[in-house]
Amino acid sequence: MIDNVVPVTRETLLAEAQRLADGGQRLISATAIDQGEYLEILYHFDKDLKLTHLKLEVKPGEEVPSISRVYFCAFIPENELKDLFGINISNIVIDYQGKFFLEDEAPRTPLLKSKPPEQGDPREVAR
Amino acid sequence: MGFISTARVKSPWIMHFETGSCNGCAIEVFAALTPVYDLERFGILNTGNPKHADIMLVTGCVSFRAGRVLRNLYHQMPGPKAVVAIGVCALTGGIFHDCYNLAPGVDKVIPVDVYVPGCAARPEAIIAGTVMALDRLAGKAGPPNIAPGEPRRGLEEGRVVEIAPGNSDK
Amino acid sequence: MPGRTVIPFGPQHPVFPEPLQLRLTMEEERVIDAVPALGYMHRGIEQLAQTKDYAQNVFLMERVCGICSFMHALCYCQSVESLLGIEAPPRARFMRTIQAELGRLQSHYLWLGLVADACGFESLFMQAWRNREMIMDCQEAVSGSRVTISTCAIGGCRRDWDDGVLQELTRRLDDVERSMDAIAPVFFEDPLVKQRTVGAGIITKQEATLLGAVGPVARASGIVEDMRRLGYAAYDELDFKPVVETSCDSYARMIVRLRETFQAINLIRQALKKMPAGEVLNKWKGTPEGEAISRVEQPRGELMYYIRSNGGKNPERLRIRTPTLSNIPSLVKMLKGSRLSDVPVIALSIDSCISCTER
Ligand code: SF4
């Protein structure tokens, strides 16, 4: 088990991130885990080799504020979450609109377990 | 042989393009170019410009986005040209075959003349593959790894086309 | 006001061995803004890993990146080991350290060659790669393979080394060090290299923290940050200090890497001396459960694996955060205000490894 997990909500996320930034913490990354009913997002921070995590639970389709105004570097993991999980993150500093990694031919939201209905296997089409 | 074809075979220029995989083979291509293995002793020169290139070395399982670039680069190369696919990734997708973001295998996108297996392909194998491609440039040999009569398929301008053996230069 | 133009830099560009595109907004010769465009090498390994079992995933993780493939296997094995609650035997921990440092050596030499090439110094490029081949020979001597060496396994190392291998390694290390001594002064002092790197791509200490810089980029800005201090593998028993520079530019990043090559040789020698005898592989059974994080110091910086498992055959989620992904925001910052002709050197100075980044 990992320790030092601080649960946050969508309202308190920005304030918590700001607090960590003021404390000189470095943002490592953000990870999303598909739990079926909801998605769990973990933001990992590090200071002097000690990890802190912020844990946020969101329902599909809910809007999550971007922390990239606090941590500029957050635009990369946030665009990734948007691409791979289809999480609706608003106000990212550089927003790739879901085209960060994925090309038009690729499946949408490939890491979600419950896939939205698709039109055939994209790989067959590309061939 | 005329002057042009002699020059082409004695000093072909190669271009390397990595289409998205673990990079191991890409690094081995560079290693094959540098002093210990020294592909340059065959008069081969590395270039970054597709219009200067005669042989294209392709590594990596072709991701969709890189596949588009690959197709572009291939069409920019003047004929006669040869394509060498390096590493099992480039052959069939290899370990990444089941990933969602790729068209496994370079030959799904452009016609391939020489297949160099290995994960990662050793520099010696890369050199052997490139030298085999020289025969192809000289017009001596057909594509070596394709059974005679077997049609090859490639992707051109978004549609699948049949490419007859030995006729891929158009 | 002069007009603005957008120049796409890449994806096929001679200075990058891999496809990466930078969209540069230019005002005459100055870069006003840079936006990285990724996705040329995205495969979807995180998804594939969820469909394979724990032992199979070791081979998949090795192929996240061919340059630092051992580090990926190591980090993954460590995370599974901490889920299982087992540890690698002492001898295996030393073997892991030696292979990790060999990997760092060859990766840094690869980069030094590329940077010499970007400076337009072809002979130095060739010489650096020639040295790298000697390191590759060491790697081949201990593992039997050049790139994806597959020696790391969950619970230790796959195969023990006999005395012959160790002697061979010791002998070759001397050759490697001699060749390094011969070319290191060129990188340290040559005016040609200095002219291109000094003052290019400055990033201050405060910025580096907020931008999440890791590895040599952070250490070149005066941040003492080195995951080896966590003491994984055998690093807790070896004596070393993180290499830190304070001039914050591309030159500092080069110096950090150069000094790390000598540090790596030193660490390998120490490890060879202290290496105990004994088992190298602990057997394990069952399916791991829970979540774990493992971090190692790759040549390019901190690598993090997050693994979660619910007792099934396959991991439920495997998250790979590679160092280049963290250094790209710094690159964006560095490029702003630089001249177009400096872009290749600055872009190289973070030692980007795109196949890691996009997985
Ligand atoms: S064939 Fe193997 S070593 Fe080569 S690029 Fe593919 S995965 Fe990497």
- Taking only the tens place, the pLDDT of each residue in C118-128 is 777 788 888 88
Q: Do A106 and B103 lie within an 8 Å CB cutoff?
A: no
Give residue C202's domain range: 40-358
Res B146: pLDDT: 42
Q: How many independent structural domains does chain C possess?
A: 1
Q: Are strands C30-37 and C21-27 parallel, antiparallel or unpaired?
A: antiparallel
Ligand 1 atom index nearest CA of B22: 8
Res B152: pLDDT: 45
Which positions in chain C touch A101 (Cβ < 8 Å)? 38-39, 42, 358
Matching residue, tokens 């990212």: A92
Res B155: pLDDT: 38
Q: Do A127 and B155 lie within an 8 Å CB cutoff?
A: yes
Q: Is the pLDDT score of B41 beyond 60?
A: yes
Q: Is the pLDDT score of C309 beyond 50?
A: yes
Which positions in chain C touch A110 (Cβ < 8 Å)? 44, 47
Cα of first residue to Cα of last residue in chain C, in angstroms, is 42
pLDDT band at B157 (very low <50, low <70, confident <90, very high): very low
Sign, CA torsion C67/C71/C74/C75: negative
Cβ of residue B128 lying under 6 Å from some atom of ligand 1: no
Which positions in chain C touch A100 (Cβ < 8 Å)? 38-39
**C-alpha to C-alpha distance for B124 and B35, rounded to whole angstroms:** 13
Average pLDDT over residues C286-303: 83
Q: Does A100 touch chain C (CB under 8 A)?
A: yes
Question: In residues, how long is chain B?
Answer: 170
C259 vs C342, residue with greater confidence: C259
As assigned by CATH, the class of the A5-90 domain is: alpha beta
Chain C touching partners, 3 or more CB pairs below 8 A: A, B
Q: Is the pLDDT score of C14 beyond 70?
A: no
Average pLDDT over residues C210-223: 83
Structure tokens that stand for C335 in this block = 């490029």
Identify the residue whose C-alpha is closest to ligand 1 atom 2: B119
Amino acid identity for residue A85 in this structure: F
Q: Which CATH number fits domain B3-167: 3.30.1780.10, 3.40.50.1000, 3.40.50.2300, 3.40.50.12280?
A: 3.40.50.12280
Q: Is the pLDDT score of A118 beyond 60?
A: no
Q: Three-state secondary structure along chain C?
A: CCCEEEEEECCCCCCCCCCCEEEEEEECCEEEEEEEECCCCCCCHHHHHCCCCHHHHHHHHHCCCCCCHHHHHHHHHHHHHHHHCCCCCHHHHHHHHHHHHHHHHHHHHHHHHHHHHHCCCHHHHHHHHHHHHHHHHHHHHHHCCCCCCCCEECCEECCCCCHHHHHHHHHHHHHHHHHHHHHHHHHHHCHHHHHHHCCCCCCCHHHHHHCCCCHHHHHHCCCCCCHHHHCCCCHHHCCCCCCCCCCCCHHHHHHHHHHHHHHHHHHHHHHHHHCCCCCCECCCCCCCEEEEEEEEEECCEEEEEEEEEECCCCCCEEEEECHHHHHHHHHHHHHCCCEHHHHHHHHHHCCCCHHHHHC
Q: Is the pLDDT score of C167 beyond 80?
A: yes
Long-range Cβ contact pairs of B141-149 (< 8 A, separation 24 or more): B142/B166, B143/B111, B143/B112, B143/B113, B143/B114, B143/B168, B144/B113, B144/B114, B145/B114, B145/B115
**Is residue C68 a part of any domain in this protein?**
yes
Cβ of residue B29 lying under 6 Å from some atom of ligand 1: no
pLDDT band at B169 (very low <50, low <70, confident <90, very high): very low
Cβ of residue B60 lying under 6 Å from some atom of ligand 1: yes
Cβ of residue B25 lying under 6 Å from some atom of ligand 1: yes
Q: Do A102 and C42 lie within an 8 Å CB cutoff?
A: yes
Average pLDDT over residues A41-59: 83
Q: Are strands C4-9 and A39-47 parallel, antiparallel or unpaired?
A: unpaired
Average pLDDT over residues C329-356: 79
Structure tokens that stand for B29 in this block = 């291509």
Q: Is the pLDDT score of C273 beyond 70?
A: yes
Q: Do B155 and A101 lie within an 8 Å CB cutoff?
A: no
User: What's the whole-model pTM score?
Assistant: 0.83
* Percentage of chain C modeled with pLDDT above 90: 0
Give the ipTM: 0.79
Assess whether the previous peptide bond of B111 is cis (omega < 30° from 0). Answer: no
Q: Is the pLDDT score of B167 beyond 70?
A: no
Range in A91-105, B10-24, C132-146 with the lowest mean pLDDT: A91-105
Res B148: pLDDT: 40
Res A121: pLDDT: 43
Report the gap between the CA of A63 and the closest CA in chain C (Å).
23
User: Domain map of chain A by residue range?
Assistant: 5-90
Ligand 1 atom index nearest CA of B119: 2
Which positions in chain A touch C229 (Cβ < 8 Å)? 49
User: Domain map of chain B by residue range?
Assistant: 3-167
pLDDT band at A125 (very low <50, low <70, confident <90, very high): very low
Other CB atoms within a 10 A radius of the CB of residue B142 amount to 13
Identify the residue whose C-alpha is closest to ligand 1 atom 6: B89
Ligand 1 atom index nearest CA of B23: 5
Ligand 1 atom index nearest CA of B121: 4
**Is residue C13 a part of any domain in this protein?**
no
DSSP state letters, B112-139: -SEEE--TTPPHHHHHHHHHHHHHHHTT
Matching residue, tokens 């795109």: C354
Q: Do A100 and C39 lie within an 8 Å CB cutoff?
A: yes
Asked if B131 contacts B43 with a C-beta cutoff of 8 angstroms, the reply is no
How does the average pLDDT of chain C come out, rounded? 82
**Is residue C161 a part of any domain in this protein?**
yes
Res B170: pLDDT: 33
Res A104: pLDDT: 67
B77 vs C75, residue with greater confidence: C75
Q: Is the pLDDT score of A122 beyond 70?
A: no
pLDDT band at B150 (very low <50, low <70, confident <90, very high): very low
Q: Which CATH number characterizes residue C293's domain?
A: 1.10.645.10
How many beta-carbon contacts under 8 Å exist across B and C? Answer: 128
**Nearest residue on chain A to B161, judged by CA atoms?**
A127
Neighbouring-strand partners of residue B14? B46, B55
Report the gap between the CA of A48 and the closest CA in chain C (Å).
8
DSSP state letters, A23-63: TT-EEEEEEEEE-SSSEEEEEEEEETTEEEEEEEEE-TT-E
Res A88: pLDDT: 76
